[in-house]
Amino acid sequence: MTRVVIIGGSGHVGTYLVPRLVEAGFDVVNVSRGQRAPYQPHGAWTQVETLAVDRVAEEAAGTFGETIRSLRPDIVIDMICFTLDSARHLVEALDGQVQHFLHTGTIWVHGPSVTVPTLETAPRRPFGEYGIQKAAIEAYLLDHARRTGFPATIVHPGHIVGPGWAPLNPAGHFDPEIFTALATEREVTIANFGLETVHHVHADDVAQMFMAAIAHWSQAKGEAFHTVSPAAISLCGYAEAVAGWFGREARLRFVPWPEFEGLHSPELAQATFDHIAHSPNCSIEKAVRLLGYKPRYNSLEAVYEAVQWLVEAGTVRRE
């Protein structure tokens, strides 16, 4: 039986990926820092071995890579690697020891879009520590794969959504109160003209991408793939669609960025700035052609499922 070690498998994507792996017949080990439950229950988790490991502490001690190697994986899926040093430490321990290594990247490796939809081959212009580090990891993994044959694949998700957590909202941040405002026809402030784009993806579609990459190993190794819905959406259109779900009209006030920034806390303003400055709009043609990727959800369908969960939880109010 093929043994899969997934690092950080109890998170958003792992909630869907781990059951997919079990149902496909893999022997699955979930390595995580704590013992948190997945976002959605599934009987497959009873067949998963869970190992509690503090990655940060073990990396500082120089032992994390050896810990993963000692589990004798055929496939390693790394969901929570955020620095080049962290990636290099793990890869050096696994070099020559695994059949496939899959890393979770981000569409923010691109920085601002030039030609859209953006292809995986577009020049990288990342900004912000997260995007810069993820781009450095991508460059390292692809270079190592092409020089030495290390079987790396990089999956670049967009804004991951699903039931169990608040999605990126039409104002470009994560305060779920925006959904309540749209549901109750209260005014929502949008930066600029609301024409910047966001590109969501349902967590289960990200899980589907990992499964497709594993199934099409020969096409996937040494490659990176955008993992998003079929099309990005504008913030303005997103807001109007959400209001429509509740039978309401969106009351939107468009303001220049300096005014928007002044109306919000530093944390919310920074989140919005990061999203509108990137304004991602990514192509999935490569993944469709090489891996047969076929997302079940478009952007609004993915968000709708998450918002319905927020309504049921009482976080988003209809009146």
pLDDT (tens digit per residue) in 239-270: 999 999 999 999 999 999 999 999 999 999 99
Inter-CA distances, 112 with 117, 174, 240, 278, 280, Å? 12, 21, 25, 5, 7
Provide DSSP, 250-291: -EEEEE-HHHHHHHS-HHHHHHHHHHHHH---B--HHHHHHH
Confidence check: pLDDT of 40 > 90: no
Q: How confident is the model at residue 37 (pLDDT cuts 50, 70, 90)?
A: confident
**What confidence category does residue 41 fall into, taking pLDDT thresholds of 50, 70 and 90?**
confident
CATH number, domain 3-160+200-227: 3.40.50.720
Q: Please tell me the predicted confidence (pLDDT) of residue 42.
A: 87
**CA–CA dist 216, 157 (Å, integer):** 18
What are the two backbone dihedrals, phi and then psi, of residue 275, each rounded to the nearest 5 degrees? Answer: -75, -40
pLDDT in tens, 81-120: 999 999 999 999 999 999 999 999 999 999 998 999 999 9
Pairing of strands 233-234, 197-198: antiparallel
pLDDT value at position 256?
98
Residue of 297, 181, 199 lying closest to 242 (CA atoms): 181
Q: What is the mean pLDDT of the chain?
A: 97
pLDDT band at 33 (very low <50, low <70, confident <90, very high): confident
Percent pLDDT > 70 in the chain is 100
Q: With the CA atoms of 62, 9, 217 and 116 taken in that order, what torsion angle do they form, in degrees rounded to the nearest 10? A: -100
Q: Is the pTM of the predicted complex or chain greater than 0.85?
A: yes
CA distance 282 to 157: 10
Q: How many whole angstroms separate alpha carbon 162 and alpha carbon 145?
A: 32
Q: Span 290-303, mean pLDDT? A: 98
Does the pLDDT at position 48 exceed 90? Answer: yes
Please state, in angstroms and rounded to a whole number, the distance separating the CA atoms of residues 263 and 170: 16
Distances (CA, A) of 158 to 107, 201, 278, 281, 288: 6, 6, 11, 9, 16
Mean pLDDT of 285-310: 98
Mean pLDDT of 212-228: 98
Torsions phi, psi for 259 (to 5 deg):
-70, -45
Q: How far apart are CA 310 and CA 16, in angstroms?
A: 19
| Residue range 114-151, pLDDT digits in tens | 999 999 999 999 999 999 999 999 999 999 999 999 99
Q: Which of 85, 101, 4 is nearest to 51 (CA)?
A: 4
**Can you give the residue ranges of every domain in the chain?**
3-160+200-227, 163-199+232-281+298-312
Cα 140-146-149 angle, rounded to 5 deg: 105
